């Protein structure tokens, strides 16, 4: 698996037979490291955790230009369809869909999910989720989306056995670094964990330092990639 952090909570996942974008927030993201054309090269799928603008991001434009299949909460998929997206695959909490090259499952996340229109009105677009991606011969990936810690993370670990974890650490809108580290150490058996959702805006923690410090002594490998860096996992 090739995993590239594209700033904030956006990731590019490359596996045999598929190129996946998770939460492609590019426009307006000061930490997005490159250009959309490079980030979407060979794209086959987009998977969304929820409908906030910093996660839904450029999904509509990318879906229309590439034809990539969009996998998301059923209500969010309906919203995207009403705005012109066509290749859509609706899901909901606890469900799994087979995408040929991989399977995707949506898990519980503790957050909210609304789309803010230019006139300042927030429209509910389904529920927030975590994302599990499983592919033959690859390590299982869990992207927690935006969430606080919750004890049923232990069930996510038991059911899906993720070996690669991506956790939000920015505080204020999600759990902070210390709490994210507690989640990683208490509820999961990750081989590798990466932080996200930090350093994007002044309201978020600017660095991953608190998370890294709180993970000290853990057997889990902590990786803090630079925006645009690709990891082989």
Mean pLDDT of all residues belonging to the chain: 97
pLDDT of residue 227: 97
Where are the domains positioned within the chain?
Answer: 2-226
Dist. CA 158–CA 104, nearest whole Å: 16
Q: Is the pTM of this model over 0.95?
A: yes
Helix axes 153-160, 177-187, angle to 10 degrees: 50
2-226 homologous superfamily: Ribonuclease Z/Hydroxyacylglutathione hydrolase-like (3.60.15.10)
Res 121 pLDDT > 80: no
Tell me the backbone φ, ψ of residue 190, rounded to 5 degrees. Answer: -65, 145
* Tokens standing for residue 106: 């949506």
| Tokens 């991989």 sit on residue | 102
Judge whether 176 and 167 are in contact, CB under 8 Å: no
- Taking alpha carbons only, the member of 96, 102, 2 closest to residue 44 is 102
Judge whether 153 and 187 are in contact, CB under 8 Å: yes
pLDDT of residue 124: 85
Dist. CA 191–CA 109, nearest whole Å: 21
What digits encode the pLDDT tens for the residues 62-117? 999 999 999 999 999 999 999 999 999 999 999 999 999 999 999 999 999 998 87
What digits encode the pLDDT tens for the residues 106-116? 999 999 999 88
């Amino acid at each position: 698996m090739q995993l590239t952090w594209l700033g904030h909570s956006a990731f590019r996942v490359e596996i045999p037979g598929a190129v996946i974008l998770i939460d492609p927030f590019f426009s307006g993201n000061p930490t997005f490291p490159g250009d959309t054309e490079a980030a979407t090269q060979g794209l086959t799928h987009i998977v969304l955790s929820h409908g906030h603008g910093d996660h839904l991001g450029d999904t509509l434009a990318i879906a229309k230009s590439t034809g990539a299949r969009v996998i998301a909460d059923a209500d969010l998929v309906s919203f995207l369809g009403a705005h012109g997206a066509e290749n859509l695959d609706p899901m909901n909490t606890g469900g799994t869909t087979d995408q040929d090259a991989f399977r995707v499952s949506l898990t519980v996340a503790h957050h909210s999910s609304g789309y803010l229109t230019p006139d300042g009105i927030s429209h509910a677009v389904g529920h927030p989720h975590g994302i599990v991606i499983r592919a033959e011969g690859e390590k299982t990936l869990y992207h927690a989306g935006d969430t606080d810690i919750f004890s049923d993370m232990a069930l996510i670990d038991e059911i899906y056995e993720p070996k690669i974890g991506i956790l939000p650490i920015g505080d204020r809108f999600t759990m902070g670094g210390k709490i994210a580290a507690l989640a990683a150490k208490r509820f999961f058996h990750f081989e590798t964990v990466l932080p996200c959702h930090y350093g994007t805006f002044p309201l978020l923690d600017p660095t991953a330092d608190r998370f890294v410090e709180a993970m000290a002594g853990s057997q889990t490998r902590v990786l803090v990639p630079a925006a645009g860096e690709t990891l082989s996992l």
